[in-house]
Amino acid sequence: MYACIHSDDAGELARSFSPFVEMIDARTAVFSITARQITAIRRLKRAAIASTIDAAVLAARHFDGFTTIAPGDESRVLGTLSIDALPPDPEIFETLEMWGIRTLADLARLPENGIVERLGERGLRQYRLARGALDRPLQPEPIEVTYEECAEFDHPLELAEPVLLVIGRFLNELCGRLDRRSVSAGALNLMLNRTERTLRLPFPTRDSKFLLKLVQHDLEAHKPDAPVEKIRVAIVPAESRRVQHDLFEPSAPEPEKLELTLGKIRALVGERNVKTPELRDTHRPGWSVSDMRLAFRYFRPPMEARVETEGGVPKQISTRVFRGKIAQTAGPWRSSGDWWREDAWNRDEWDIAVADGALYRIYRAPAGWFVEGIYD
C-alpha cells in the first residue's frame, strides 16, 4: 500500500513515516506504508491510501480529509473527478472534449484498445491513471548521507601509532557505511587539529586497510606540527569501480599495490618528483606517438648541441655525448604551434645520420640547436 500526503509540510510529515519518500511536487509526497502506520495517518487533514501510487496522489490532491481506496475500487472512487485532475496534456484533452468525456469515470468506460488506436501511448497512460491502474515503482529522493567521523582528546596524542589507530577505527566504520550503500570512496579529507589535508584517490575504493596505508604514507611525508588534539575523517563518496577482466590476457598488477608503492616513493623523494603519464592538449612534437617503422626514443630534456652548417644544411654536430660529421640529412621540416600560449614553439627539424650510422632528430629553435631523440 502507498500513502500520499498533500499539505504545505508534506515532505516533513512523510519522512516521519518513512525515509523513502517521492516528492511529486512541493506539497505532495508519497511513500510506502505499513498496516501499523494507518492509524497515525488517519489524523492528517489531507491524505489518501491506495494500492497504486498515482491513485493515492489523485485522491489526496482532490478529496478533503482522509481517503482509503481498496484494491480494485480505484475506478469507482476516482470516477467523480474531472478530467482536469489528470496531468495536463492539451492535445489529449481537446480530443476528449470532442468526445464528450468530462470525468474520469467517462474515460474509464472507454475500451482500452480504442484508446491506444486513437490516442497512442500518451492516451493509454491517461486512461490507466483515470482507472487507478497505472502501477509503477516508487522513486524516492536520494537520502543525503555524510561519511564523517570526529574525535577530540583530553590528552593530545604525540605518537603516530595512536593517531593511526583512531583513524583506522574511523575508516573501518566509514567503509562499512559505504559498502551498505554500494558506493566507494572517491577522496579522503583528514583534519588533524586545524590543519586539513585531502588525499585524492587514483580510483574509487572501500578498502579500509588500503586507505589507512595511504594516510600513513601521507603522515610520514607531512608530519603534524603539534600533538594531535582533534581528528576528523571525512570521505567523499563516488561510484564503485567496475572492472571487466579478459579471459585470454594475464591479470594486471593490483592498482592498490601500485598506489602504495607510489606513496612510499613520494615519501622518499618528494611528491613533486613523482609523475604519471598524461596526454597533453597540444600538437607539440613529442607529446604523441607517431606511426613510424623505427622506434624513437625522446631525450628528456632535449640535448643541447652545437651544429655547423653549409648553405643552411647541417654538416657537423657536437654534443656532450657524441660528436662527428653528419653523413646524411633529411629536412628541414618547419613546424610551430600553441600560438595562443606564452611558450609557443617554432622550429626547423632535421633527421640526420652521423658517421657511425646512428640516426638522430635535431631541431633549431630560437634558443639554439637541440637533439630531440634517437631512432632505434
Cell 579478459, located at residue? 246
Percent of the chain with pLDDT over 70: 93
- In this prediction, residue 239 carries a pLDDT of 84
More confident residue, 59 or 288: 59
**Residue/partner pairs of 284-289 with CB below 8 Å, 24 or more apart:** 284/337, 284/338, 284/345, 285/335, 285/349, 285/372, 286/372, 286/373
Contacts of 10 by beta carbon, 8 Å cutoff, 6+ apart:
23, 26, 27, 28, 29
Residue 137 pLDDT greater than 70, yes or no: yes
Q: Looking at the domain assignment, is residue 217 inside a domain?
A: yes
- In this prediction, residue 282 carries a pLDDT of 66
For the chain, the 3-state helix, strand and coil shares in percent, each to the nearest 5, are 30, 35, 35
> Domain check: are 117 and 152 in the same one?
no
- In this prediction, residue 333 carries a pLDDT of 85
Domain boundary among 206, 238, 270: 238
> Domain check: are 152 and 123 in the same one?
no
- In this prediction, residue 304 carries a pLDDT of 92
Q: How many structural domains does the chain have?
A: 3
> Domain check: are 72 and 176 in the same one?
no
> Domain check: are 12 and 47 in the same one?
yes
Q: Looking at the domain assignment, is residue 291 inside a domain?
A: no
> Domain check: are 167 and 106 in the same one?
no
Type of residue found at 341: R
> Domain check: are 101 and 212 in the same one?
no
Most confident of 93-102, 261-270, 281-290: 93-102
Q: And the C-alpha cell for 219?
A: 603522515
Q: Looking at the domain assignment, is residue 268 inside a domain?
A: no
Q: Are 285 and 349 in contact (CB under 8 A)?
A: yes
Q: Looking at the domain assignment, is residue 266 inside a domain?
A: no
> Domain check: are 109 and 184 in the same one?
no
Give the model confidence (pLDDT) of 156-173 as tens digits: 898 889 999 999 999 999
Rounded to an integer, what distance in angstroms lies between the CA atom of residue 169 and that of residue 152? 14
Chain mean pLDDT for the chain: 85
More confident residue, 192 or 141: 192
Q: Looking at the domain assignment, is residue 196 inside a domain?
A: yes
Residue 50 pLDDT greater than 70, yes or no: yes
> Domain check: are 79 and 196 in the same one?
no
Mean pLDDT of 106-126: 90
Q: Looking at the domain assignment, is residue 274 inside a domain?
A: no
Cell 604525540, located at residue? 158
Mean pLDDT of 16-23: 88
- The CATH code of the domain that includes 195 is 3.30.1490.100
> Domain check: are 175 and 65 in the same one?
no
- In this prediction, residue 291 carries a pLDDT of 44
Domain boundary among 81, 100, 131: 131
- In this prediction, residue 52 carries a pLDDT of 92
Please tell me the least confidently modeled range out of 193-207, 210-224, 250-264: 250-264
Residue 41 pLDDT greater than 50, yes or no: yes
- The CATH code of the domain that includes 17 is 1.10.150.20
> Domain check: are 216 and 336 in the same one?
no
> Domain check: are 202 and 301 in the same one?
no
> Domain check: are 10 and 124 in the same one?
yes
Q: And the C-alpha cell for 237?
A: 563518496
Bridge-based pairing state of the strands 28-32 and 2-6 = antiparallel
Total residue count of the chain as it appears in this document: 376
Give the model confidence (pLDDT) of 302-351 as tens digits: 899 999 988 888 999 999 888 889 888 888 888 877 777 777 778 889 99
Give the model confidence (pLDDT) of 289-315 as tens digits: 444 456 788 888 889 999 998 888 899
Q: Looking at the domain assignment, is residue 247 inside a domain?
A: no
Rounded to an integer, what distance in angstroms lies between the CA atom of residue 27 and that of residue 121? 28
Rounded to an integer, what distance in angstroms lies between the CA atom of residue 240 and that of residue 212? 19
Q: Which domain holds residue 345?
A: 296-375
Q: Looking at the domain assignment, is residue 18 inside a domain?
A: yes
Q: Cis (ω within 30 of 0) for the bond into 301?
A: yes
Rounded to an integer, what distance in angstroms lies between the CA atom of residue 276 and that of residue 252? 17
Rounded to an integer, what distance in angstroms lies between the CA atom of residue 304 and that of residue 321? 10
Q: How confident is the model at residue 255 (pLDDT cuts 50, 70, 90)?
A: confident
Domain boundary among 63, 96, 131: 131
